[in-house]
Amino acid sequence: MDYEFRRNSLDGSVLALFSMDHEALGRWLSEELGEDEAKLSAVLQAIAQLQAGELEHYQLVGRDLTLEMDKEQAVVAANVLGFEEEHDLQEFMNLYDAESIANCGLEDLQLVLESWREFLGS
């Protein structure tokens, strides 16, 4: 998973760009997490609790994207996908959309978030 962070020199906004299949993670960082240190700290704390076995599941619902984590992985999905219900899909049908859902290992997300925090501090 490749990524880079940018800051707009005109308005100071931040942008996270991720490689194919992880674009939703970049959108989540840019649009949902942004520069909110409290949210960033809460997610990093939840990761530590998941890794320590103190928590089994964590969910952060945003305006457009939701982060869900368990002890092994993190998934960012667009709220409009509605994955709460299991669907019996035919083989030719696929709900996957690279811009709407992305997943990665919990440790990978932790590294991304620490890099994001470092980027925001610079």
Neighbouring C-beta atoms of residue 117, cutoff 10 Å:
14
Which strand ranges, in their side-by-side order, compose the sheet holding 58-61?
A: 58-61, 65-69, 73-78, 101-105
Instruction: Provide the whole-model pTM.
Output: 0.84
The answer to whether 95 and 89 are in contact (CB under 8 A) is yes
pLDDT in tens, the chain (122 residues): 899 999 999 998 999 999 988 999 999 999 999 999 999 999 999 999 999 999 999 999 999 999 999 999 999 999 986 554 444 444 443 444 557 899 999 999 999 999 999 999 96
